[in-house]
Structure 1
Amino acid sequence: MSHKDHCSICEKKTEKGIYLLRVYICEECEEEMINTPADDPKYEYFVKRMAKAHKSMIPS
């Protein structure tokens, strides 16, 4: 049986990905993030999704 986690970027449940500062990112999103230039509008989307994911890890 395989283990699946929810990607913090696309929210899909996947088996393959990485944890970056306790935030899970699927392989597809990781690849897209790596290849997105900073001047691309999608870059800002990734920054916001990562910030939201990190904030959710902080207990209230």
Structure 2
Amino acid sequence: MKNKDCCSICSSRTDDGIYLLRVYICHSCEKEMIQTSADDPKYQYFIDQMSKAQRSVIVS
């Protein structure tokens, strides 16, 4: 059985995501991030979440 990791964007625990620069992103968030245009307000949310996650990895 595979470990479930916590998504850095939505905080859900899944085993079907990816690691991007040591930051775990679930498949659902990955798909939404890819489909979100740069002028969508959600785009900035994704940037902010990735930035927070990356900073927490650096501190760890």
Letter in 2 for 1:35: Q
TM-score (norm 2): 0.95
- Runs of 4+ residues deviating >4 angstroms: none
Structure 1, unmatched stretches of 5+, are: none
In the other structure, the counterpart of 1:54 is 54
Q: CA deviation at 1:3?
A: 1.3
Question: Residues 1-37 of structure 1, C-alpha deviation per residue, up to 9 Å, x if partnerless?
Answer: 2210000000000010000000000000000000000
Write 1 or 2 for the structure with the bigger share of helix: 2
Q: Which amino acid aligns with 1:42?
A: K
Q: Distance in 1 between matches of 2:23 and 2:2?
A: 19
Identity within the alignment, %:
63
| Helix, strand or coil at the partner of 1:38 | coil
**How many residues of Structure 1 are paired with residues of Structure 2 in the alignment?**
60
SS of structure 2 residue aligned to 1:19: strand
Listed as ranges, the gaps of 5+ residues in structure 2 are none
